[in-house]
Amino acid sequence: MEFNHVAHRLDTVHFDLVVEMLKSQLGFVELRRIPHAIWLRQPGATVDLQLTASTTTHRDHDKQRSQISFISPTPREELEKLAAWFNERGVAANVGAYSEREFYLDAPAAFVDFVIEAMGPELAEYDVQL
């Protein structure tokens, strides 16, 4: 089997706004859409992101352990820009830290079971031959 995509849930009310953020701020391209889900890919990536609309009122208490993760030389600053983007559109968002090199963005009203993580590129340097 070959790895194809990961899937996470978005609150139905904020579904289109999060998709807009991924497209306009992070360059994602829409691959396929059905009424309750969308598949996206960031150019250059080999794994897709599926987002599914959810009406759940329960938010995972430990959702910080489930991330959509990005690499950036300035991870905190990049997430702060996304938090400002959400806040300007009326969706409360905040940035937290796992460490001095790993940060996360949460928009609790929109993200059901995940946060967006950004980390320094050195954390993705693995001594593994593929």
3-state SS record for 44-109? CCCCEEEEEEECCCCCCCCHHHCEEEEECCCHHHHHHHHHHHHHHCCCCCEEEECCCCEEEEECCC
Summarised one tens digit per residue, pLDDT across range 13-62 is 999 999 999 999 999 999 999 999 999 999 999 899 999 999 987 777 78
Which structural domains are found in the chain, ordered by start?
5-55+63-124 (3.10.180.10)
State the Cα–Cα distance between residues 85 and 24, nearest whole angstrom. 11
Q: 30 has which bridge partners?
A: 40
Rounded mean pLDDT of the chain? 94
**Percent of the chain surpassing pLDDT 90:** 82
